Amino acid sequence: MKLYVSGIGIWSDLAQDWEQLKTALAENSNTNPAGVPLSKLIPGAERRRAPKTAKLAVEVAEQACRMAKADMSDTASVFTSVLADTEISDNICRALALPQKILSPTKFHNSVQNAPAGYWAIGSGNHAPCNYVGGFMESWALALIEAASQCLIEQRNVLLVNYDIANKAPLSGVCRIDESFASALLLQATCTHQDSVELKLELCAGSNPQPIAHSLSAQTLCRRNPSAAVLAQLEVFAMKTDEQNATELRWPINSDAHLRIRSRGSL
């Protein structure tokens, strides 16, 4: 499969947009608490009820569309995460463990994994197809396959939105996440921007370890949030490469197969 990345969104303690991230990766910058984005795209009434996952997802999705000059109202989307909204899951489980078993209607409403996609649709006026892909540590690579397939088969722009928020025990015993992270890619079937990255995707047999980012600051963030593993790929997107020097990374998708990504160009 061949397609193009023309927009990137990012929100983390390391950087809050693509230009900041490129600088941070080049300079090995230290992280600074970024908090939760304001997400002005979400209407005020909905924003007060929106969970952290939705605010993160909407922020990076908007950044990626703005960078690519894509129509937010007509862009399909695929959302993914390692553990989804652990804060709400923890709250609901604790409430159910109490004698009264009283659940917050708002938290129950926001507990489904496609809640961030719903807030994105409301805020952007989007009626395009959207779905959610979950595959634990292999979530991003699996979601990329889904997004790329939609992009090429339907010949339309597709957003790939990736996020996870900090968690606490007992969920941290399954997968510890110490800080929040979110990213988004705007995928296109044809090259419409001079500044874009060409991707060639290939499913390959055999297991393969997850790529590791070169920047020490990125490595630190990856240890604190598994969704930040995508920084290894974003580092490549920041490099200037041509056909002869195309960069290759291999991402595991299960114990028997991996995704080979060759990229050239830069953003």
- The H or E element containing residue 136 is none
How far apart are the C-alpha atoms of 186 and 135, rounded to whole Å? Answer: 21
> How far out from the chain centre does Cα 239 lie?
20
pLDDT means per 10 residues, the chain with 267 residues, are: 97 95 87 83 87 96 96 97 94 91 87 92 94 95 98 97 95 94 97 87 96 93 96 91 77 96 92
Predicted TM-score (pTM) above 0.75: yes
Please classify residue 203 by burial: count the beta carbons closer than 10 Å to its beta carbon, then call 0-12 exposed, 13-18 middle and 19+ buried.
exposed
> How far out from the chain centre does Cα 67 lie?
16
**Residue 92 in tokens:** 């609901």
How far apart are the C-alpha atoms of 179 and 167, rounded to whole Å? Answer: 8
Fold of 2-195: Peroxisomal Thiolase; Chain A, domain 1 (3.40.47)
User: Which of 224, 251, 253, 225 has its CA nearest to residue 236?
Assistant: 251
